[in-house]
């Protein structure tokens, strides 16, 4: 007798194999999605850091006189096309945000609210005989990740000098 049907055992084997293939594909897709999201998040954090560094570099290059500098803030007078202007950077620890204040933007925060984990300003050698500004910052990614994975952090130490304080500049010493 010739049987052309499918037995229950064969159906169970096909179902088990299909389930294992679907489970493997789901795990691969989940990991790929997490990796892509983490990479995108770190790229966004890098863009934020680059924006802060670029703006600080531009401002400090035009620095004429340092007004005040603490570990968490720096205030200075810089040259603009309209004359002198006071600029202040303040890192607020409780908000984990860096703010920049000038006459046009009284409370600009670099779109990184809650991401600036630490920030340090240090004039060298000191406020009275300013040569350059050391800045250290640590940013955290805005995605916390899974429970067992720590948030990603990005750190940088920079040194900024003023073109206006160079000896051959009319605004120099």
Write the pLDDT tens digit of every residue in 75-126. Answer: 999 998 888 999 999 999 999 999 999 888 888 887 777 889 999 999 988 7
**4 Cβ neighbours under 8 A, 6+ residues apart:** none
pLDDT given at position 146 = 56
Residue with tokens 């429970």: 147
% of the chain surpassing 90 pLDDT: 50
Span 108-122, pLDDT tens digits: 887 777 889 999 999
In 4-70, alpha helices (H): 8-61
The pLDDT assigned to 127 comes to: 67
Phi, psi dihedral angles at 20 (to 5 degrees)? -65, -40
* ∠ Cα 164 139 101 (to 5°): 45
Q: Give the global pTM.
A: 0.77
Contact 150, 44 (CB under 8 A): no
In a domain, 49, yes or no: yes
In a domain, 12, yes or no: yes
Pairing of strands 83-92, 73-80: antiparallel
For residue 169, tell me if it sits in a domain: no
Confidence band (pLDDT; 50, 70, 90) for 26?
very high
Number of domains in the chain: 1
Q: Say if 66 falls within a structural domain.
A: yes
Does residue 167 fall inside a structural domain?
no
Instruction: Give the C-alpha separation, 6 to 92, whole Å.
Output: 70
Give CA–CA dist 112/160, Å, rounded: 21
Q: What is the CA radius of gyration of the chain?
A: 27
- Which CB contacts under 8 angstroms, 24+ apart, belong to 99-104? 100/55
Which domain does 87 fall in, by range? 8-161
At residue 35, does pLDDT exceed 50? yes
Do 78 and 63 touch, CB atoms closer than 8 A? yes
Nearest 5°: phi and psi at 167? -60, -30
Q: Is residue 74 within 8 Å of 66, Cβ to Cβ?
A: yes
């Amino acid at each position: 007798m010739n049987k052309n049907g499918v037995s229950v055992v064969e159906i169970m084997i096909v179902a088990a194999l299909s389930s294992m293939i679907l489970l493997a594909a789901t795990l691969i897709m989940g990991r790929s999605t997490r990796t892509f999201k983490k990479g995108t998040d770190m790229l966004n954090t890098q863009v934020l850091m680059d924006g802060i560094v670029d703006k600080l570099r531009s401002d400090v290059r035009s620095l004429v006189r340092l007004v005040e500098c603490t570990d968490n803030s720096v205030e200075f007078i810089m040259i603009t096309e309209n004359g002198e202007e006071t600029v202040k950077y303040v890192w607020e620890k409780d908000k984990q945000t860096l703010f920049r204040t000038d006459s046009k933007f009284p409370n600009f925060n670099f779109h990184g609210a809650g991401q600036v984990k630490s920030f340090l300003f240090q004039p060298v050698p000191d406020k009275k005989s300013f040569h350059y500004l050391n800045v250290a910052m640590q940013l955290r990614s805005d995605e916390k990740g899974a429970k067992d994975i720590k948030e990603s952090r990005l750190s940088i130490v920079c040194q900024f000098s003023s073109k206006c304080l160079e000896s051959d500049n009319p605004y120099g010493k």
